[in-house]
Structure 1
Amino acid sequence: MQWSIVIPVKGSIGKSRLDAGDARAALAVAFARDAISAARAAASVDLVVVVTGDPDVTDCLEGVQTVADPGGGLHAAIMAGIATLDPAAPAAVVLGDLPALTPHNLDATLALAVGERRSFVPDSLMTGTTMLAATRADALRPHFGPGSAELHREAGHVALPVPQGTGLRLDVDELADLHRAIDAGVGPHTRAVLASASLSA
């Protein structure tokens, strides 16, 4: 089964809670570029749609479809991406703040998602959501934001058994999250920013 992936990205204006000084904006872009690169390289993914208003996010990244962020927040961006997909094709929404995501990790999780009409991956705290999937794009019921894990359960999405510490569960909002992602192994874009900012990689 081949999947379409929607990745909403704020870009350099995002990650306001990340206490990384002058490196914050560059890290926000790097997180997204690593997540996008992992999705593009996944064998089970045939389309990556990036919804963003920041051209730096997709600069030099080939093989992605870009949709302009319509404004109005995360939900509006996600729906704009979903609207471009074949409604009958398998689809997933993956957040853009996953610097430790790997193609293998995503492929393994999507293989689990094949067995559920609607599914999701909770974040490391089990309260948020890092990925939402459905075997048909028109079956997606996105409710990202505070308490999204429970909201997605209530909407009929089944939590997938993705192990703690896996890159797909390590979204980064604060510095402690970044250290956990670094321990798991971040992608090259994030490593480059960390090195230039003299932060630990």
Structure 2
Amino acid sequence: MQWSIVIPVKGSIGKSRLDAGDARAALAVAFARDAIAAARATPSIDRVVVVTCDGDVTRGLDGIEVVDDPAAGLRAAINAGIATLPAGAPTAVMLGDLPALTPEALESALQLAEREQRSYVPDAIATGTTLLAARRADALRPHFGPGSAQLHRLAGHVELPVAPDSGLRVDVDELADLHIAIDLGVGEHTQAVLRGAQLAA
């Protein structure tokens, strides 16, 4: 099964809770670039749709489609990306704050998602959601935000058995999350920003 994936990204204005000083904006962009790079390198993904208004997020990245963020919230951004895809296309929505994501972790999750009509991957503390998937784009029921894991369950999405220490579950909102991601191993864009900020990755 070949998947399309929609990645909504605020870019440099995101990650307001990340206490990383002058590096915050650059890290927010770097997280997204690493997540996009992992998606592009995932064998079962043939379309990567990035929804953003920040040109730094996608600059120099080949093999992706860029959709302007309508600036009306996360759900509107997700819907704008989904609207570019055929209704029957296997589709996933993934958040862009996953600097420790690897193509192998994403591929494994999508192979699990093939078995379910609708599915999701929770974040590391199992309250939020990092990945939402459906075998048809028009079957997705996005409810991202506080408590989204429970909302996605109630909407008929099945939780996928992805290990809590997978890079697919480690979304970075705060500095403690970043340290966990660093321990797992972050992507090259995040590594570069951390080096510039004199933080070891």
Match of 1:123 in 2: 123
| Overall identity of the aligned pairs, in % | 73
RMSD over aligned Cα atoms = 0.4
2:161 matched to 1:147? no
Shift of residue 200 of structure 1? 2.3
Alignment of structure 1 residues 46-195 onto 2, 5 Å: 46-195=46-195
Query: Aligned partners of 1:28, 1:163: CA distance in 2, in Å?
Result: 24
Tell me how far apart the structure 2 counterparts of residues 200 and 77 of structure 1 sit (CA, whole Å): 33
**Can you list the C-alpha shifts for 1:27-52, whole angstroms capped at 9, x where unaligned?**
00000000000000000000000000
Which amino acid in the other structure matches residue 16 of structure 2?
A: S
**Alpha-carbon distance between aligned partners in 2 of 1:124 and 1:104, rounded to the nearest angstrom:** 18
For residue 119 of structure 1, give the secondary structure of its aligned residue in structure 2. strand
Q: Report SS of the residue matched to 1:169.
A: coil
In the alignment, structure 2 segments of 5+ residues that lack a partner are none
Partner of 2:24: 24
State the one-letter code of the partner of 1:173: D
Which residues of 2 match residues 7-22 of structure 1 at below 5 A?
A: 7-22=7-22
Name the SS of the counterpart of 1:176 in structure 2.
Answer: helix
Partner of residue 40, structure 1 = 40
Moved over 3 A (4+): none
Shift of 1:3: 0.1
| Alignment length (residue pairs) | 201
TM-score, length-normalised on structure 1? 0.99
Equivalent position SS for 2:131? strand
SS at match of 2:178: helix
Displacement after TM superposition at 1:172 (Å):
0.2
SS in 2 for 1:27: helix
CA–CA distance in structure 2, aligned partners of residues 100 and 106 of structure 1: 11
Query: How high is the TM-score relative to the length of structure 2?
Result: 0.99
- Determine the C-alpha separation between the residues in 1 that align with 2:142 and 2:185: 28
The Cα of 1:94 is off from its aligned counterpart by 0.5
Determine the C-alpha separation between the residues in 2 that align with 1:167 and 1:70: 28
Q: Which residue of 1 aligns with 2:6?
A: 6
Counterpart of 1:95, as a letter, is L
Structure 1: how far apart are the matches of 2:167 and 2:4?
A: 19
Q: How far does the alpha carbon of each residue in 1:3-45 deviate from its partner, in whole angstroms, 9 at most, with x for none?
A: 0000000000000000000000000000000000000000000
Structure 1: runs of 5 or more not aligned: none
Aligned partner letter, 1:157: H
2:189 corresponds to 1:198: no
Structure 1 distance, partners of 2:112, 2:94, is 15
Deviation at 1:108, TM superposition (A): 0.5
| Alpha-carbon shift at residue 60 of structure 1 (Å) | 0.5
Determine the C-alpha separation between the residues in 2 that align with 1:124 and 1:46. Answer: 27
- Displacement of 1:199: 1.2
